[in-house]
Amino acid sequence: MAQSNAHNLVEYKAGRMVLLGKMVEPDDRKGLLFVRRSADDNQLHIHWMDRRSGSVELDIVATPGVLEFRRIDQCKTGRVYVLKYTRSTQRYFFWMQELQADGDALFCQRVNELIASGERQRDEIAAAEGDMDTDADHTTARRGFGGSENPQILEEMLVETQATWLPANRSLNHWQTGDAMEEPPLPFADPDANTDTDTDTYTSESGIQTFDLAAVLRLHGAEAVDKVLSCPSRREKLMAQLPKDHEAMDEQSDILEHLHSAQFYESLSSFSVGLHSGALRKSLEPLLQSDDNREALNAAQVGDVERFLRELERNDGDYGGPTD
Amino acid sequence: MDTENPGAATVEELTTKEATAANNWCLIESDPGVFTEMISGFGCTGAEVEEIWSIKADAFRHLEPIHGLIFLFKWLDDKPAGRVVTDRSDIFFARQVIPNACATQALLCLLLNLQHEDIDLGQTLTDLRNLCQDLDPECRGHRLANEEKIRKVHNSFARPELFVVEESTDFIEDDCYHFVGFMPIKGKLFELDGMHEGPIELADIDQQQNWLDVVRPIIEARMERYSVGEIHFNLMALVSDRQRCYERKIQMLVNLPSQLSHADRQAEIANLRSHVRHEKEKKRRYRKENIRRRHNYLPFIVELLKQLGETGQLMAICDKAKDRSYLCKPSKDTRDQQPQ
């Protein structure tokens, strides 16, 4: 079983599909498609894991310019994506198993961003060497149990593969009498290797741009958060706003654990909704008390999210560079 | 974990003050860590709740003894699936007379009908059972609603209030989710649903039969019916404290003569010790998650945004989002995410 000590950068429930002759057929197993940076070679790897057995069957080095992840429109009976090499015919097909289909396009976009960012990530890590706290992530050794569907094994897998930002929704779980969370798509003919497919895009109806702040931070905020957390005094201020935990190992991992948790993401989503609706001003007043923040409060009053964020950035007079 | 459908409501509520002040009961999240902590909060020891991912026979085996099942589903005003029993004073049953109490009520009905050497009810629940002995189900429901200790534990899981929701004209009524309990009582299988007038007798359990083999087809049939309508449901098991069970087995192996060879005994002890470590880690995770459920993250969110701003990164994040044409659809997202 391939393992590394890296956190998953992004992950998604997806099953495999296999090419049999000229037909692509679904594999019924429940799987997880995830991207992580290997501690060994510092490269991005795309993995597929059988969620039941925990075995990682695919380990693909994500070289920029060589790999891309696309939706296959030819298959109409399901949500099928292909991980393909631009210079060879080798492809890996996946059918999406998340219940909400609207996450598919975001995941696809994120995977492609990560593939494209492979080189830049390496440079940034080299530049940051020596500045960051390094935390060894000790993956729990997986224990064996008798039952083939032991829920404890499943719990362990879910804990170990907790995504960097994607929220785990624990409010409700979806059951079906069979094992599959979604019906797998029907087999379809292998699409032409040269067929071009449109990538999904979102467009604003009225042309007015709005933000889902929670999703924006989730997708684009990880690097910025790491930068904030690299400064001990900033970590201390953030820690002051979190519940005391006597078992916390260290500040940075404790903060990250909160940021990755389902409960925080729900709060952030609620915050985002409240900010849009203008309902947050009363709650924000005690937290943004200085005169510098009056404009930010006014923006919150009318639900102007972009202006609110701009005002928070404008008040950076005391910041002259990295300070410890 | 699965993500929920956009149209499905979550079983939770943001209003702490409202719930506490008006003697209201908050909504409860369907999570084994939440239920396990409620059990502990009631003063009961030796019991916990595990989530059930499959009802195939061998998926249950490592959890036995299973004392009862808690089933969550989107509530339908159904006729009872069996005979409603109103003449059994030996069964604890309470009508649900207050909204949102069904989670605690389903859990309490299981606990108060349970007699097992592994489980100690504790003073609060023992007193409650004695108080309710001679009351009818309706009065028991009211008694339960006024039990301060119980309600306090229940409402400790109310979500922190980030902001006051102003009532809007386009209020959409939530789906109503409901918890019921299943358990064997004196050779018969019962469904304990506070929305009915009494426990529902579903089946006989033969002397040599495992009650889980009796309840499984009933649960399967219900799941099948609900999944046709794309109704969400969740199943949890009330079990003996796993850590205690493993520790007891270790003690027996260490202190009592056994048929095992020395090497086999040591191997089994090591295996059980790894189970104990796993259970301790699980309890630690439950504790952390419950702390997070109760925490008001608003100051943390504001502090985080401030610091992203102070480090000059906030607008860059938003610009990146714009460049990728990532835009939400306000009306849909607002409706999906609107806290109640």
Residue B299 belongs to domain with CATH number: 1.20.58.860
* A1 is a domain residue: no
Shared domain check, B261 and B211 = no
Please count the residues of chain A.
324
Instruction: Quote the number of domains for chain B.
Output: 2
Of A219 and B291, which is predicted with more confidence?
B291
Using DSSP bridges, classify how beta strands A44-50 and A23-26 pair: parallel, antiparallel or unpaired.
unpaired
Put simply, the chain B residues between 135 and 194 with a CB less than 8 A from any chain A CB are: 160, 162-166, 177
* A146 is a domain residue: yes
Q: Quick check: B314 and A148 CB within 8 A?
A: no
- Residue A172 is nearest to which of B4, B325, B339, comparing CB atoms? B4
> CA of B13 to nearest chain A CA: how many angstroms apart?
11
Put simply, the chain B residues between 267 and 326 with a CB less than 8 A from any chain A CB are: 274-275, 278, 281-282, 284-285, 288-289, 291-318, 320-322, 324-326
Shared domain check, A222 and A86 = no
* B178 is a domain residue: yes
Inter-axis angle of helices B298-310 and A262-277, to 10 degrees? 80
d(CA B42, CA A240): 31
Q: Quick check: A151 and B50 CB within 8 A?
A: yes
Tell whether B333 lies on the interface with A, counting CB pairs under 8 A: yes
* B319 is a domain residue: no
Q: Which of B300, B325, B333 to mutate to test the interface with A (most CBs of A within 10 A)?
A: B300
Shared domain check, B194 and B123 = yes
- Residue B327 is nearest to which of A13, A202, A224, comparing CB atoms? A202
Residues of A in contact with B164 (CB under 8 A): 279, 282-283
Shared domain check, A313 and A239 = no
User: Which of A85-94, A98-107, A161-170 is the most confident on average?
Assistant: A98-107
The continuous run of DSSP H or E covering A35 comes out as strand A31-37
Active site residue B232: no
pLDDT of residue A112: 86
* A135 is a domain residue: yes
d(CA A221, CA B67): 46
Given pLDDT bands bounded at 50, 70 and 90, which one contains residue A19?
A: low
d(CA A26, CA A97): 12
pLDDT of residue B325: 44
> CA of B129 to nearest chain A CA: how many angstroms apart?
30
d(CA B263, CA B261): 5
Considering the candidates B67, B178, B196, B232, report the single residue annotated as catalytic. Answer: B178
Active site residue B275: no
Q: What is the average pLDDT value for chain A, to the nearest integer?
A: 66
Residue A129 has pLDDT above 70, yes or no: no
- Cβ pair B174, B55 in contact under 8 A: no
Residues of B in contact with A175 (CB under 8 A): 223, 227, 232-235
* B65 is a domain residue: yes
Q: Quick check: B307 and A228 CB within 8 A?
A: yes
d(CA B317, CA A219): 9
Shared domain check, A146 and A110 = yes
* B332 is a domain residue: no
pLDDT of residue A154: 39
d(CA A26, CA A20): 10
Q: Quick check: B165 and A279 CB within 8 A?
A: yes
* Residue in chain B nearest A174 by alpha carbon: B232
Shared domain check, B250 and B226 = no
> CA of A39 to nearest chain B CA: how many angstroms apart?
25
Shared domain check, B27 and B176 = yes
Number of Cβ atoms within 10 Å of the Cβ of B60: 23
Of B188 and A118, which is predicted with more confidence?
B188
Residue-wise pLDDT tens digits, A173-205: 333 333 345 567 767 766 543 333 333 333 333
Of B240, B272, B297, the residue that ends a domain is B240
pLDDT of residue B146: 83
Shared domain check, B254 and B108 = no
* Structure token pair of residue A324: 């410890």
* B123 is a domain residue: yes
d(CA B310, CA A134): 24
Of A216 and A226, which is predicted with more confidence?
A226
Task: Tell me the mean pLDDT in the region A231-243.
Answer: 89
Q: Quick check: A238 and B232 CB within 8 A?
A: no
| Residues forming a β-bridge with B66 | B239
Shared domain check, B127 and B45 = yes
Shared domain check, A23 and A39 = yes
Of B240, B263, B282, the residue that ends a domain is B240
d(CA B180, CA B105): 8
pLDDT of residue B39: 96
d(CA A270, CA A214): 9
- Residue A227 is nearest to which of B5, B12, B313, comparing CB atoms? B313
Shared domain check, B77 and B150 = yes
d(CA B65, CA B245): 10
Q: Quick check: A319 and B311 CB within 8 A?
A: yes
Residue-wise pLDDT tens digits, A82-102: 887 765 666 788 888 887 787
d(CA B266, CA B268): 5
Q: Quick check: A243 and B295 CB within 8 A?
A: yes
- Cβ pair A216, B317 in contact under 8 A: yes
Shared domain check, B265 and B235 = no
* B11 is a domain residue: no
* Residue in chain B nearest A305 by alpha carbon: B318
* A249 is a domain residue: yes
Shared domain check, B179 and B156 = yes
> CA of A21 to nearest chain B CA: how many angstroms apart?
33
- Cβ pair A200, A71 in contact under 8 A: yes
**DSSP assigned state of B205:** -
- Residue B309 is nearest to which of A147, A273, A315, comparing CB atoms? A315
Shared domain check, A216 and A178 = no
d(CA B34, CA B249): 27
- Cβ pair A173, A268 in contact under 8 A: no
* Residue in chain B nearest A273 by alpha carbon: B334
Task: Tell me the mean pLDDT in the region A151-171.
Answer: 36
Q: Tell me, what CATH number does B223's domain have?
A: 3.40.532.10
pLDDT of residue B72: 80
Shared domain check, A150 and A102 = yes
Task: Tell me the mean pLDDT in the region A126-143.
Answer: 32
Q: Which residues of chain B have pLDDT under 70?
A: 1-23, 53-56, 58, 60-61, 74-78, 159, 161, 163-177, 224-233, 320-340
pLDDT of residue B250: 93
Given pLDDT bands bounded at 50, 70 and 90, which one contains residue A1?
A: very low
Shared domain check, A134 and A26 = yes
Shared domain check, B138 and B117 = yes
* Structure token pair of residue B282: 């699980």
Share of chain A above pLDDT 90, in %: 4
Q: How far lies B109's CA from each of B131, B141, B196, in Å?
A: 14, 11, 13
Strands of B177-185's sheet in order across: B47-51, B233-240, B66-74, B177-185, B188-192, B200-204, B83-84
Of B201, B216, B240, the residue that ends a domain is B240
The continuous run of DSSP H or E covering B180 comes out as strand B177-185
Instruction: Quote the number of domains for chain A.
Output: 3
Task: Tell me the mean pLDDT in the region A307-319.
Answer: 68
Shared domain check, A17 and A109 = yes
Task: Tell me the mean pLDDT in the region A292-306.
Answer: 82
d(CA A257, CA A240): 15
d(CA B105, CA A39): 49
Residues 6+ apart with CB under 8 A from B119: B44, B45, B46, B47, B67, B111, B240
Residues of B in contact with A220 (CB under 8 A): 317, 320-321
How many pairs of residues across A and B have Cβ atoms under 8 Å apart? 263
User: Which of A6-20, A136-150, B98-112 is the most confident on average?
Assistant: B98-112
How many Å separate Cα B328 from the centre of its chain?
33
Domain that holds residue A154: 8-189
Q: Tell me, what CATH number does A151's domain have?
A: 2.30.29.70
Shared domain check, A271 and A289 = no
Residues of B in contact with A218 (CB under 8 A): none
Shared domain check, B83 and B69 = yes
Domain that holds residue B246: 242-313
Shared domain check, A258 and A141 = no
Q: Quick check: B163 and A177 CB within 8 A?
A: no
Q: Quick check: A224 and B305 CB within 8 A?
A: no
- Residue A175 is nearest to which of B223, B293, B338, comparing CB atoms? B223
Shared domain check, A15 and A158 = yes
Considering the candidates B26, B44, B102, B109, report the single residue annotated as catalytic. Answer: B102
Of A260, A276, A292, the residue that ends a domain is A276
> Nearest 5 degrees, angle CA B53-CA B154-CA B69?
30
pLDDT of residue B228: 55
Shared domain check, A183 and A140 = yes
Closest of A127, A88, A313, A312 to residue A226, by C-alpha: A127
Residue A114 has pLDDT above 80, yes or no: yes
**DSSP assigned state of A47:** E
Q: How far apart are the first and last CA of chain A?
A: 41
pLDDT of residue B203: 94
* A167 is a domain residue: yes
* B328 is a domain residue: no
Closest of B116, B121, B113 to residue B188, by C-alpha: B113
Shared domain check, B201 and B76 = yes
d(CA A140, CA A136): 12
* B323 is a domain residue: no
pLDDT of residue B74: 64
The b-or-e profile of B154-177 (16+ CB within 10 A means b, else e) is bbbbbbbbbbebeeeeeeeeeeeb
* Residue in chain A nearest B228 by alpha carbon: A176
